[in-house]
Every structure is written in structure tokens, then in C-alpha cells.
Amino acid sequence: MILKFLRLFKIIRVTLRYGIDEIAISGLKVPRTARLIETLLFWRDLSAPRGERLRKALEDLGPIFVKLGQVLSTRRDLMPPDIADELAKLQDRVPSFDPDLAIAQITKSLGAHPDTLFASFERVPVASASIAQVHFATLKDGREVAVKVLRPGMKETIDKDVALMQVAAGWLEALWADGKRLKAKEVVGEFDKYLHDELDLMREAANGSQLRRNFQNSDLLLVPEMYWDYCSSSVIVMERMNGIPISQIDKLQAAGVDLAKLSRDGVTIFFTQIFRDGFFHADMHPGNILVSTDPATFGRYIALDFGIVGTLNDFDKDYLSQNFLAFFQRDYKRVAEAHIESGWAPKDTRVDELEAAVRACCEPIFDRPLKDISFGQVLLRLFQTSRRFNVEVQPQLVLLQKTLLNIEGLGRQLDPELDLWKTAKPYLERWMNEQVGWRGLIDKLKAEAPRYSHIFPQLPRLAHQALSRAGEQNNSNEMLAALLSEQRSTNTLLKVIIYFGGGLFAGVIAAQLLLHFYFIG
């Protein structure tokens, strides 16, 4: 309890130091409270931009809050652009933990000491992040590997900090006018799930294995092999990859790498993941990408760290391709219709109003040469326009937009003349052809062929059963009709008997009364 209180005190102190409260002051639902806070904290220097102050505060609060900032930077549908841009600069600058703790974690998870498991194990880590750190090792058969070890005690730390974030999110929604729109509690809940997913390294290993399989025969991307006999939820062992970090452009040029081709290849890889596989690496920042210098694979991308991946179904891919193509054909009405048809915009949304809003934010883009148009910015403008019309932005598309911005920025850093549209257009057109044209029909028939092979031999029996049931149904219908006819006849006869009997009874009574009065009279 004392530790929790001290942690809360530190959060409040850092918040006041960097003026994070000032970001929300202008939107407080109680203006007098806002003025009081400004008066009491007059001594602070808040001259730095609000996004920069927020970034520094999160860095001071530690790795969990840094991760929160990274997640918030992807929610450009919720965050103001200046804050999202600044949070995108956050990196995991986390000191490594004691190698003895890593060795203990490996021993506990894999059931043997690293000296027993490996021919050699480097105690000094080569990389360290907020969730895990990496050591190099060599298997007994001589294969070089990278060993990723989860930080000890991460689950408890995450649970405590997320609980405090939930409290802060409740205050934010209660006090800030924009708190409800920013969905603070929802964002913290999403962050909680994201962190706990990352705590399971087996999930990351499975993601990497899937991506490797998707690009098994590709000459564009290399993905390390996972050694499953050495993997658990807190330790994974994978093939060691050697290359130059993609951010070190001088070294790439000195090695003779064709940067223009590398730039185009990056775009090709991304759109292949989207429109062919529907499964994409969603954390492709420069720290997770190397370029191979091995003669056999020279110039290929190397992907690392598969804790965050995105998936798209056929509906998502169709939505994206239609929107991208409609944007670049300036068919804003089709963009509006696609949003309403998808159910992401309310059904009562007027197409002409949404069309006008999309036109207003996107038309200025086309005043520049096509190669200068930013895919990421187009998607970002789409999200910003969506807010006004209560469009529900899907989480997988937010993740896609964040990844697309990373890829686009990286591509243009490698080659400022990169024409992203020219590179991506063939994939969009191919996807539409596969979905709508004859090729798409043939592919779908091929995909369904195994099911048809089981169904076709059963068709005669199924047809006979259907006809038998129909015959039984017809017989039942005839019997029911006969019963109804018989019932109607019976009802008619009963009516006659009742009317006749009633009349006879009434006549007898009347005769008795007449005779009675006659003899008495």
C-alpha cells in the first residue's frame, strides 16, 4: 500500500513538474477550478510545446508509461496531431537488468542453466527494452542464436501502473470536456491488453513464425527462425540475424546498398503483407529493421521483434483498396458511401455531407505532384474527418495507419523521390481484380474445391432425402386438408343439430305453455 502511494505521489509530482495538468485545464468542465489551478501553480515554466512536455513526463515515469505514449501515438483518430507527432519520438531507452536475473529466468523457464543448454552464452545483453532484453548465444550444434528474456516482475509492475492509469482516466473523463471523446478508459483498457499480450513471448514467437512462412520464398524479406525446443512464455530463442540497422544510412551506402531499391522494396513488402496476406508486422520502426550484408541475401530487409502484429480480413482489405483507389480518382462520393456501407458511419449519415467533408480535407493534397502525396496523411485526414461524423475507427486500421506512417517515413528517408502511389497502385488494382473479376471467382472456386469434393458425392443422397421430405410434407398437407374438411363438415352438422334441437325444444316449451294457459284459463 505504501509503495502504491509513493508511486502515485511520483506520478502527481511529474505531472505538475511538466505541466501535464495544463494540457487539460483549458477543457475543464469547471472554469473556476481551472483558474484556481493556474493561480496556485504560477511558478512553473511551461514555455515548451505541450507535446514535448508530455513526452518528457512519460520518459521520467518509466518504461510502462513510455509504452503508453507509444500506443497513444498510434491513436491519431483520438489525439491532436502535435501530441501524436511528439509521442511518436518515444523510444525504449531502458537500462538492462542484471544478467544473473536473466540466467535465473532462463533456468526456471527452460529447466536448465544456460551453460548446459548452449555451447556459449554472452552474459552482457546486446539490446534492452521495456519488456525484455536480448543475449547472444551459440547452440551445441554451432548455430548462432539470439535469446530474448522477459524482465522479471513485469506483470506485477504492469498491473500496478495500469490500475493507477485507470484511476487517472476516470478523472480525465469526469473533469475534461473532451475526456469522453478521447475515450480515456477505453484507451487504457486497450493498452492493458496490448501489454499483457507482449508478456507472452510464445505469442511473439508464433507471430514471427507466421511472417517467416508468408515470406518463405521471397527475395525481399528475411525473418529469423524460431527454435521451439528452447521457447517458453518468458524466454524465446531464435536464429541470430546479422545486418546493418536501417537508420544507419551512411553505413548502408558505404556497403553498396541501393537505397532507392531498398525504399521501393519496403513499400512492396508492406503492401504484400496487407493485400496478399492480411497479416502485417505492426512495429516496423528503425530499431526493428536491419539490412542484410551477407552475400547470399545482400540488400534484403531483416525483420525483428514480432510482439505487435496486425490482421485484416477480406472486408478490411476491400474497404482499404476501395478507399485508396477512390481517393486518388477523387471519387469522394464513393469514399462516403464506403464508410456508410461498412457500418462504420451511422446509417443516417447524409452521403452528400460526408462527401463534402472528405473533399474539403483531401482536395488540397492533389495540388502537389503525385509522388509528393502521403498515403499516411491521406489515411490520417480520413480519421480526423471521421470524428465529426461519429465514425467508429477500427483498431486494426489504426494499427495499419501507424505502420504505414512508419514505412512511408522510412521509405522517403532512404529515397526522397519515392513515389509511394506508383509502387502501391499495382497491388490495389490486383486486389480489386482478385476480389471482383474472373480471377477472383476462379481463386474462390479453387479455395472451396476441397469442400465441394466432399459434398458432390453426397448430392444424390441429399437430393433423395430432400424429395422424400417434400413428399412426406405433401402427404402431411393432404391429410391436414382432409382433416380440416372433415372438421368443417362436422361443424356444419353440429350447427344443424343445435339449431334443430334448439328450435324443437323451444317449440315443445311453447306448446306446453299454451296448453297450460288454455286449460287454466
pLDDT, tens only, 327-372 = 767 888 888 887 777 666 778 888 888 888 888 877 776 666 556 7
- CA-based torsion, 321, 323, 328, 333: positive or negative: positive
Strand-pair category, 132-138 with 127-128: antiparallel
Kindly tell me if the per-residue pLDDT of 508 is higher than 50. Answer: no
> What is the pTM (predicted TM-score) of this model?
0.70
Query: Does residue 75 contact residue 187 with C-beta atoms inside 8 Å?
Result: yes
- If you average pLDDT over residues 251-261, what whole number do you get? 92
What are 334's three cell numbers?
A: 464513393
Is 129 annotated among the ligand-binding residues? yes
Residues 6+ apart with CB under 8 A from 69: 54, 55, 58, 87, 90
pLDDT given at position 204: 93
pLDDT digits (tens, 9 = 90+) for 35-55: 665 666 656 666 788 788 888
pLDDT digits (tens, 9 = 90+) for 99-147: 999 999 999 999 999 999 999 999 999 988 878 999 999 999 999 999 9
Is 296 annotated among the ligand-binding residues? no
Is 291 annotated among the ligand-binding residues? no
SS3 assignment, position 320:
helix
Q: Is 238 left (phi over 0), alpha (psi -120 to 50) or beta?
A: beta
**Cα 495 from chain centroid?**
72
Selection from 263, 223, 282, 247 nearest residue 404 by Cα: 282
Task: Name residue 247's amino acid.
Answer: S
Kindly tell me if the per-residue pLDDT of 436 is higher than 80. Answer: no
Is 64 annotated among the ligand-binding residues? no
Q: Is 318 a catalytic residue?
A: no
pLDDT given at position 519: 42
Task: Name residue 476's amino acid.
Answer: S
Is 436 annotated among the ligand-binding residues? no
- CA atoms of 253 and 282, how far apart (whole Å): 27
SS3 assignment, position 359:
helix
- CA atoms of 58 and 17, how far apart (whole Å): 12
- CA atoms of 302 and 300, how far apart (whole Å): 7
Go through the chain and tell me how many residues it has.
Answer: 521
Q: Which of 283, 305, 316, 318 is catalytic?
A: 283
Query: Does residue 304 contact residue 241 with C-beta atoms inside 8 Å?
Result: yes
Is 206 annotated among the ligand-binding residues? no
